[in-house]
């Protein structure tokens, strides 16, 4: 079963499988805030229109200043990107012909960009998907000979937040053995900034933290992300970017988003309620479910139920889940569900309940 390597764009899933796409489709394969962008975006949309006639600020203002203030870091420690994906592309070039550890299962873009840059990839698999327990001894051993270690926290696709103490331990070890840490915090704003490693990058020149504006603020079409790292790293990476790599709409809207604290807290509260309800429902039906802290849930079916048949069944009902066939370790036996609005979650519940009722006790 050949499938797209990313969520979203559900028509591609139906096309690759040769299935007819239902008129009504609920796309749970992407994990963008179900509330949509903050209300100011639509309310002020006409005021943004004149920006289309002007070149954007080459330094990324007003977004650059807002990011630095939000995290209480100096502006020269912040690098803006056309989405976090652009930043991962240039970070990978930093490790051309070098050894890089990637902890799996995780976001597929790390290996894709590292491979394109000619890095030597050392994949290390977490075996406890429920808790996403990091294999500390193995990681420390490999770090001695490695130039960098990539960790996603909270993890994508499991949604689990690795223990901060464990990452700080790896950070200390990295300093001793001269191994950099690339920390992907694309989903950190669904948890608590107290769990962020951004302030560790202020005092540690071997730490790079990447953030995304896409997920919490529901602006994937604008492409906006940033990283925080030592000034020398920021300057090196900045030289790899085009002069105007961000559009003016993204810079202004992104700056406004960082003022939307009430919006963020509402989104977290809603996602938490829906996630906990879905977690219980899946467990009650015999599924294994990861301890996600984000706006998505990752689960596997009871052993007697066939994953591919389940995925196809959901598609026929207009429910598009995120497959895990391109996530090392999960091998397509697990699925990720992004939290959506009440109507979508109700439809999902009914769809899944019908499957569980029809397939209890059925052997593979």
C-alpha to C-alpha distance for 111 and 103, rounded to whole angstroms:
10
Q: In terms of Cα–Cα distance, which of 291, 278, 279, 287 is closest to 342?
A: 278
**Which pairing describes strands 296-300 and 288-289: parallel, antiparallel, or unpaired?**
antiparallel
DSSP per-residue letters across 269-295: HHHHHHHHHHHHHHHHTT-EE----SS
C-alpha to C-alpha distance for 39 and 304, rounded to whole angstroms:
46
Rounded to two decimals, the pTM is 0.94
Q: What is the pLDDT of residue 147?
A: 98
pLDDT one-digit tens code per residue, 28-56: 999 999 999 999 999 999 999 999 999 99
Q: What is the pLDDT of residue 228?
A: 98
Cis peptide bond prior to 138, omega within 30° of 0 = no
Strand ranges, E, within 164-217: 180-184, 207-212
Order the strands of the 78-81 sheet from edge to edge: 78-81, 225-228, 207-212, 180-184, 148-152, 99-104, 120-125
The CA-based dihedral angle spanning residues 15, 16, 20, 23, taken in that order and rounded to the nearest 10 degrees: -50
Q: In terms of Cα–Cα distance, which of 63, 6, 14, 100 is closest to 252?
A: 63
Q: Per-residue confidence of the chain (364 residues) as pLDDT tens digits?
A: 555 555 557 888 888 888 889 999 999 999 999 999 999 999 999 999 999 999 999 999 999 999 999 999 999 999 999 999 999 999 999 999 999 999 999 999 999 999 999 999 999 999 899 999 999 999 999 999 999 999 999 999 999 999 999 999 999 999 999 999 999 999 999 999 999 999 999 889 999 999 999 999 999 999 999 999 999 999 999 999 999 999 999 999 999 999 999 999 999 999 999 999 999 999 999 999 999 999 999 999 998 899 999 999 999 999 999 999 889 999 899 999 999 999 999 999 999 999 999 998 654 4
Residue 269's contacts (CB-CB under 8 Å, 6 or more residues apart) are none
Domains of the chain, earliest start first: 8-29+260-356 (3.90.1150.10), 49-258 (3.40.640.10)
Which residue is listed with tokens 């700080």?
168
C-alpha to C-alpha distance for 106 and 182, rounded to whole angstroms:
13
Which residue is listed with tokens 């009902």?
317
Q: What is the pLDDT of residue 13?
A: 86
Structure tokens at 299: 């689960």
Q: What is the pLDDT of residue 363?
A: 47
Quick check: 12 and 18 in contact, CB under 8 A? no
Quick check: 32 and 338 in contact, CB under 8 A? yes
Residue 50's contacts (CB-CB under 8 Å, 6 or more residues apart) are none
């Amino acid at each position: 079963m050949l499938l797209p390597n990313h969520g979203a764009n559900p028509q591609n899933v139906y096309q690759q499988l040769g299935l007819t796409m239902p008129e009504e489709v609920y796309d749970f394969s992407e994990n963008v805030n179900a509330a949509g962008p903050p209300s100011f975006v639509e309310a002020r949309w006409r005021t943004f229109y004149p920006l289309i006639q002007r070149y954007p600020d080459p330094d990324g203002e007003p977004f650059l200043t807002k990011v630095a203030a939000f995290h209480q870091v100096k502006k020269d420690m912040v690098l803006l990107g056309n989405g976090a994906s652009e930043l991962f592309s240039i970070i990978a070039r930093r490790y051309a012909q070098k050894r890089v550890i990637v902890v799996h299962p995780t976001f597929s873009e790390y290996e894709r960009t590292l491979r394109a840059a000619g890095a030597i990839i050392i994949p290390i698999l977490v075996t406890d998907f429920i808790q996403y327990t990091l294999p500390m001894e193995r990681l420390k051993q490999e770090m001695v000979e490695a130039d960098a270690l990539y960790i996603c926290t909270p993890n994508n696709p499991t949604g689990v937040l690795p223990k901060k103490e464990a990452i700080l331990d790896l950070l200390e070890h990295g300093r001793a053995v001269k191994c950099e840490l690339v920390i992907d915090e694309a989903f950190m704003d669904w948890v608590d900034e107290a769990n962020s490693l951004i302030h560790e990058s202020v005092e540690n020149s071997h730490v790079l933290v990447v953030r995304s504006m896409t997920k919490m603020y529901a602006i994937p079409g604008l492409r906006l992300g940033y990283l925080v790292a030592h000034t020398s790293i920021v300057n090196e990476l900045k030289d790899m970017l085009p002069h105007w790599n961000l559009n003016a709409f993204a810079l202004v809207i992104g700056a406004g988003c960082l003022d939307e604290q009430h919006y963020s807290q509402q989104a977290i509260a809603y996602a938490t309620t829906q996630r906990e309800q879905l977690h219980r429902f899946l467990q009650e039906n015999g599924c294994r479910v990861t301890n996600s802290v984000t706006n998505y849930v990752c689960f596997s079916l009871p052993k007697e139920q066939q994953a591919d048949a389940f995925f196809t069944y959901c598609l026929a009902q207009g429910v598009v889940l995120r497959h895990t066939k391109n996530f090392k370790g999960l091998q397509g036996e697990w699925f990720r569900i992004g939290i959506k609005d009440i109507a979508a979650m109700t439809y999902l519940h009914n769809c899944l309940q019908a499957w569980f009722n029809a397939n209890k006790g059925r052997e593979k």
